[in-house]
Amino acid sequence: MKNLKNIFLAFLTIVLPILASAQYCNTFHTKYCPPSDNGMYSLNGQSKSALFSKGQTSELNVIVYKGQDYRISLCFDQTLGSQITFKVYETKKVKVEKVIETKTMEDEYQKDENGELAVDEWGEYILTGNQVEVVNKETITVVEKQKTLLYDNSQDGFATELEFSVETTRRLIFEVSIPGSASESATKSKLMKSSDMGCVGILVEHMLTPIQGFKGTGF
């Protein structure tokens, strides 16, 4: 009984800090991701924070709308390292042609010396008594989602801020990857240490794209 109690206490010692961290992460982006100095930007409800571990990759689906400017900023705990990888993908539904193969077993017929199907005296095809595998191919059109890479901060000095304008409404995927891996002891025990974990925040801000030039004068 004493051993069980010690195991339970040890389990709580590991788990409680992680649960506390997860709760703490919920609003991480509102506290630690620096907002824009431009007062025209507004906080976007698609902003999010989460608890990450070293070596983990996770995705956030975001819709960006036509006629708006967006600003994305990242923030993360120092326990996760000095830099994280941030990629932006676009997802589109495209039509793709696929060849579908089906295999069936069919009766085998005898052939004559010319390679033609042999017939009996009543004009019926003659069976060999065996069956052969027949492959049938059919081309069909299916709709699939395709991911196209639009931005990779590892090619931009691991920048933690990104601004862009949107000309057509699009579905984007923000992918965050944490370098490294969990400690060996954590891997063996399947229990993460709090030192292997930390918060990551993605702050999304938006505003109407400013009209440039002599547009919108009313004439």
Residue 77 sits in a domain whose CATH number is 2.60.120.680
Regarding whether 173 and 119 lie in a shared domain, the answer is no
Regarding whether 123 and 40 lie in a shared domain, the answer is no
pLDDT tens-digit readout, 201-216: 999 999 999 887 665 4
Regarding whether 25 and 45 lie in a shared domain, the answer is yes
Please report whether residue 217 resides in a domain: no
Please report whether residue 105 resides in a domain: yes
Contact in structure between 80 and 52 (CB atoms under 8 Å) = yes
Q: Among 79, 108, 139, where does a domain finish?
A: 139
Please report whether residue 214 resides in a domain: no
| Non-local CB neighbours of 191 within 8 Å, separated by 6+ positions | 14, 15
Regarding whether 69 and 13 lie in a shared domain, the answer is yes
Nearest to 153 by CA among 127, 134, 128, 179: 179
Regarding whether 27 and 50 lie in a shared domain, the answer is yes
pLDDT tens-digit readout, 6-28: 444 444 444 434 444 457 799 99
Whether the per-residue pLDDT at 195 is higher than 80: the answer is: no
Regarding whether 118 and 86 lie in a shared domain, the answer is no
Q: Give the whole-angstrom CA distance, residue 52 versus residue 197.
A: 6
pTM over 0.75: no
Average pLDDT rounded to a whole number, residues 56-72: 97
Regarding whether 190 and 159 lie in a shared domain, the answer is yes
pLDDT tens-digit readout, 137-183: 889 888 888 889 999 999 999 999 999 999 999 999 999 999 987 55
User: Nearest-5° angle of CA 25, CA 28, CA 31?
Assistant: 150
Core vs surface per residue 31-43: b (16+ CB within 10 A) or e: ebbeebeeeebee
* Parent domain of 113: 99-139
Regarding whether 110 and 91 lie in a shared domain, the answer is no
